[in-house]
Amino acid sequence: MLDYLYTSQYQMRGILTVSLGRIEGPNSESFTHAVFMRFQQKEDIAKFQSSSYYSKVLDEHVKPVSYGLVSVDFESEVEDDIIPLFRRGEDFNYGVEFMLLISFLETASRESVEDALAHLQKLIIHYSSFIVQATSGCCLDHMDSLYSHASVIRFPSIDDFKLFKESTEYKDVRLLHFHR
Looking at beta carbons, which pairs linking 143-147 to residues 24 or more positions away fall under 8 Å?
145/72, 146/70, 146/101, 146/103, 147/72, 147/101, 147/102, 147/103
CATH of domain 1-71: 3.30.70.100
Domain boundaries, the chain: 1-71, 89-180
DSSP structural state of residue 23:
P
Looking at residue 124, its amino acid is I
Q: Write out pLDDT tens, residues 131-140.
A: 988 888 888 8
- Residue 101, CB half-sphere, CA atoms under 13 Å: how many? 14
pTM of the complete model beyond 0.75: yes
Looking at CATH, the fold of the domain delimited by 89-180 is given as Alpha-Beta Plaits (3.30.70)
Give yes or no on whether 1-71 and 89-180 have one common fold: yes
For 141-164, write each residue's pLDDT tens digit.
766 678 888 898 989 999 999 999
Rounded to whole angstroms, how far apart are CA atoms 27 and 130?
23
Q: How much is the pLDDT for 125?
A: 93
The pLDDT tens digits of the residues spanning 58-111 come to 888 888 888 878 878 877 766 655 555 555 556 667 788 888 888 888 888 889
List the beta bridge partners of residue 98: 153
